[in-house]
Amino acid sequence: MSNILAIAHKELKSYFASPIAYIVIGLFALLYGYFYVAILAYFVRQSLQMSEFGGQGPQAMDINQQLIRPLMTNVTILVLFVMPMVTMRTYSEEKRSGTIELLLTSPLTDFQIIMGKFLGALALWGIMLLVSMIHLAILFVYGREWKPLLTAYLGLLLLGGCFLSVGLFISTLTKNQVVAFMLTFTVFLFLWIITWIGSFAGPTVDSLTQYLSIIDHFDDFGKGVIDTTHVIYYVSFITFGLFLTAKSVDSERWRA
Amino acid sequence: MIEVQHLTKRYGRVTAVEDVSFRVERGEIFGFLGPNGAGKTTTMRILTGFIPPTEGKAIVAGFDVFDQPIEAKRRTGYLPETPPLYPDMSVIEYLTFVAKIKGVPTAERRQRIQAVMERTRIDDMADRLCSKLSKGYRQRVGLAQAIVHNPDVLILDEPTAGLDPKQIIETRELIKELAGDHTIILSTHILPEVSQTCQRVVIINKGHVVALDTPDNLTARLRGSETMYVQVDTNGLDAAGALQRIAGVTRVAESDRRDGLVGYEIESQHGRDVRRDLARAVVSNGWGLLELRPMRMSLEEIFLSLTTEETPTPMPAITEGEPVHE
Ligand SMILES: Nc1ncnc2c1ncn2[C@@H]1O[C@H](COP(=O)(O)OP(=O)(O)OP(=O)(O)O)[C@@H](O)[C@H]1O
Ligand SMILES: [Mg+2]
């Protein structure tokens, strides 16, 4: 465990030693803020209209349905762009600079190295999510509807974990960061649009692609519901991504 | 301490190392000598568990590198060809990280790091970023990293490559100091290094062991014939004829002449010591004997003759040049 933490700590520190951490955190916070303001403005306009037509004012409107859910849908798109930047260098850079030789000749198991790298990246994602919460502080101040927010954030953490595990795997395939980024982004895009393909292709395919689509599993979290099937789905997805990473690292050893 | 048995490594159709076997005893400094592409790095990577062998096995500090990798790695320090530094860490951060993953207990960590920094003379660079270090210092940090967990076995891939002469001497001294409590394998293609630092040498070429012996024995074994140098005072007479008549001498050549002193290179049959007869001949002719010494063939020459000789079996295809580090 201390080995895993040592690697995770080193990973997290290396994100902050390079511009990467600041770029992804800044980009995420900025775009998140933009979506938040845009959706909030729309929400306020809607509620004002409602009160003009004799409604009971903003409070009566469903903040969850009208604000948090659309916000989270947009945030999942951000994940698509930001995550490849987080994972692109994890293995690629170690291979390029030769530090992989230090890791692989130290008394560490592959599992410890992979888990360390994964947790380091997940910690950065956690920090990004924390920073984004500043925008939402106002909703907490009003003291309402904090539960769907918490579940949404749990969902985001898991959703991000899925992308990270895939990104980690892809970064083991090349020592070129740019290639790693492009490949990761392409795969993420595919994982994201898979639902649309399904909706064109008829009901059986549709249910299959809905199951495969990482995004579809997020929906309930946005509604404030923690459904164990979705949690299990995400955890299995992450496990599978890390398993692929382990396989790739191991087969690399035989080829190298 | 280290035992390598019939090690073979193939990269696809390229055979990097074939049927290499040797033993290294505790406390020994063992040299790995060979030209570019000989398979030095490949062998070291197998010994450190970085890559598995295609065939054969390696036992380091009593543990099979392949079957019990963690135990073997715990007892091994490794300096790869390029020191594996993280550019964005300071020297002390880097060594702390390495100490953690090598399993140095937390209580001892600080003191261990201080000790290795002093030993490798990098303590004045403790807070410098690794990316800002000169080549010599990178190499030293690489060495510090390799010994931070006080391993039984040290594997150093070209530890003096790219250093200036002063640093080379310092590094060699350090390696000799370390030899007491560590068993060391070092690779090099600098020949004087081997005769200066190593107790035994294996010479490999195109993945094959060509010779394995002490530097002295290798020198002796390779002298097909022995050569002596004598300097005599003959008052200007030519001594070549008289020296030529000595039994066992095969060739006499004048090498220098100055102020009536003449120097000769005398070749004799292998294994035949002609020094006594030489001295007697000089004295009985009434000349002055000023110098008599064996001329050793330098290790350089041995090396050339070893690696330029053809191996009896036809070689599999071997690509030359820099290995592709995947
Ligand atoms: N990853 C690899 N893939 C394919 N071939 C490789 C790989 N690594 C090394 N080789 C080949 O194996 C052979 C031995 O290489 P190795 O690096 O062990 O030589 P070396 O003795 O360390 O040479 P140098 O003195 O240049 O460091 C070379 O022919 C090299 O091209
Ligand atoms: Mg080499």
On the question of pLDDT at B300 being above 80, the answer is no
> Please, are residues B24 and B30 in contact by the beta-carbon 8 Å criterion?
yes
On the question of pLDDT at B325 being above 70, the answer is no
Ligand nearest to the CA of B45: 1
Are B41 and B123 part of one and the same domain?
Answer: yes
**ipTM score of the complex?**
0.84
- Among candidate residues A198, A171, A190, A143, the one with its CA nearest the CA of residue A85: A171
Confidence band, pLDDT 50/70/90 cuts, at residue B223: low
On the question of pLDDT at B303 being above 80, the answer is no
Place of tokens 């790693």: A180
Q: Which atom of ligand 1 is nearest to B319's Cα?
A: 29
Are B85 and B179 part of one and the same domain?
Answer: yes
Angle between helices B135-147 and B165-179 (to 10 degrees): 10
- A55 falls within a domain: no
- Among candidate residues A218, A228, A178, the one with its CA nearest the CA of residue A195: A218
pLDDT above 70 covers what percent of chain A?
A: 84
Which of A102, A104, A248 has the highest number of chain B CBs within 10 A, making it the mutation to test binding with B?
Answer: A102
pLDDT above 70 covers what percent of chain B?
A: 88
Which of B73, B95, B101 has the highest number of chain A CBs within 10 A, making it the mutation to test binding with A?
Answer: B101
- A42 falls within a domain: no
- B49 falls within a domain: yes
Are B251 and B194 part of one and the same domain?
Answer: no
Are B125 and B181 part of one and the same domain?
Answer: yes
- A153 falls within a domain: yes
pLDDT at position B145 is 95
Residue B157 alpha carbon to ligand 2 centre in Å:
7
Identity of the residue in A2, A106, A252 whose CB atom sits nearest the CB atom of B326 = A252
> Please, are residues A18 and A53 in contact by the beta-carbon 8 Å criterion?
no
Q: Chain A: give the shortest CA distance to residue B324, in Å.
A: 9
pLDDT at position B322 is 44
Q: How far apart are CA B100 and CA A3, in angstroms?
A: 7
pLDDT above 90 covers what percent of chain B?
A: 44
pLDDT tens for residues B18-70? 999 999 999 899 999 888 888 999 999 999 999 999 999 999 999 999 999 99
> Please, are residues B270 and B241 in contact by the beta-carbon 8 Å criterion?
no
Nearest CA to ligand 1 atom 22: B41
Q: What is the CATH number of the domain that holds B12?
A: 3.40.50.300
Cβ-Cβ contacts under 8 Å, B82 against chain A: 98
- B122 falls within a domain: yes
Question: Tokens for A131?
Answer: 């920073």
> Please, are residues B60 and B182 in contact by the beta-carbon 8 Å criterion?
no
On the question of pLDDT at A240 being above 70, the answer is yes
Domain boundary among the residues B163, B189, B220 is at B220
Helix spans in chain B (H):
40-47, 69-74, 91-101, 106-119, 135-147, 165-179, 191-197, 215-222, 240-244, 275-284, 299-308
CB B15 near ligand 1, within 6 Å: no
Identity of the residue in A106, A108, A255 whose CB atom sits nearest the CB atom of B326 = A255
Instruction: Tell me, yes or no, if B14 comes closer than 8 A to chain A by beta carbon.
Output: no
Number of independent structural domains in chain B: 2
pLDDT tens for residues B63-85? 999 999 999 999 999 999 999 99
Q: Chain A residue with minimal CA distance to B51? A: A253
* Residues B84, A101: C-beta atoms closer than 8 Å: yes
On the question of pLDDT at B312 being above 50, the answer is no
Nearest CA to ligand 1 atom 12: B16
Q: What is the CATH number of the domain that holds B251?
A: 3.30.70.1340
Q: Which residue has the higher pLDDT, B162 or B229?
A: B229
Domain that holds residue A156: 2-31+67-255
Residue A109 alpha carbon to ligand 1 centre in Å:
26
Identity of the residue in B51, B78, B84 whose CB atom sits nearest the CB atom of A99 = B84
Residue among B13, B20, B40, B315 to mutate when testing ligand 1 (max atoms within 8 A of CB) = B40
Number of independent structural domains in chain A: 1
Instruction: Tell me, yes or no, if B112 comes closer than 8 A to chain A by beta carbon.
Output: no
Are B198 and B230 part of one and the same domain?
Answer: no
pLDDT at position B99 is 96
Cβ-Cβ contacts under 8 Å, B76 against chain A: 105
Are B80 and B133 part of one and the same domain?
Answer: yes
Residue B322 alpha carbon to ligand 1 centre in Å:
6
Q: For the residues of B249-302, what is the DSSP string, one character each?
A: EEEEEEEEEETTEEEEEEEE-TT---HHHHHHHHHHTT-EEEEEEEEPPPHHHH
Are B199 and B249 part of one and the same domain?
Answer: no
Are B249 and B190 part of one and the same domain?
Answer: no
- Among candidate residues B185, B186, B101, B205, the one with its CA nearest the CA of residue B148: B101
Q: How many CB atoms lie within 10 A of CB A76?
A: 19
pLDDT at position A61 is 54
pLDDT averaged over every residue in chain B: 84
Domain that holds residue B256: 225-294
- A61 falls within a domain: no
Ligand nearest to the CA of B79: 2
Predicted model pTM: 0.79
- A231 falls within a domain: yes
- B312 falls within a domain: no
The 8-class DSSP code of residue B231 comes to E
Tell me the three state secondary structure of residue B150: coil
pLDDT at position B301 is 59
On the question of pLDDT at A54 being above 60, the answer is no
Are B214 and B245 part of one and the same domain?
Answer: no
The secondary element (H helix, E strand) that includes residue B188 is strand B183-188
pLDDT averaged over every residue in chain A: 82
Confidence band, pLDDT 50/70/90 cuts, at residue A60: very low
Mean pLDDT on A153-174: 91
Buried b (16+ CB within 10 A) or exposed e, B287-305: beeeeeeeeebebeebbee
Identity of the residue in A18, A105, A255 whose CB atom sits nearest the CB atom of B48 = A105
Domain boundary among the residues B179, B196, B220 is at B220
Domain boundary among the residues B175, B192, B220 is at B220
Mean pLDDT on B13-21: 91
Residue among B17, B32, B41, B210 to mutate when testing ligand 1 (max atoms within 8 A of CB) = B41
On the question of pLDDT at B102 being above 50, the answer is yes
- B157 falls within a domain: yes
Are B213 and B235 part of one and the same domain?
Answer: no
pLDDT tens for residues A168-188? 999 999 888 889 889 988 988
Are B28 and B165 part of one and the same domain?
Answer: yes
pLDDT tens for residues B114-132? 999 999 889 899 999 999 9
- A41 falls within a domain: no
Are B160 and B125 part of one and the same domain?
Answer: yes
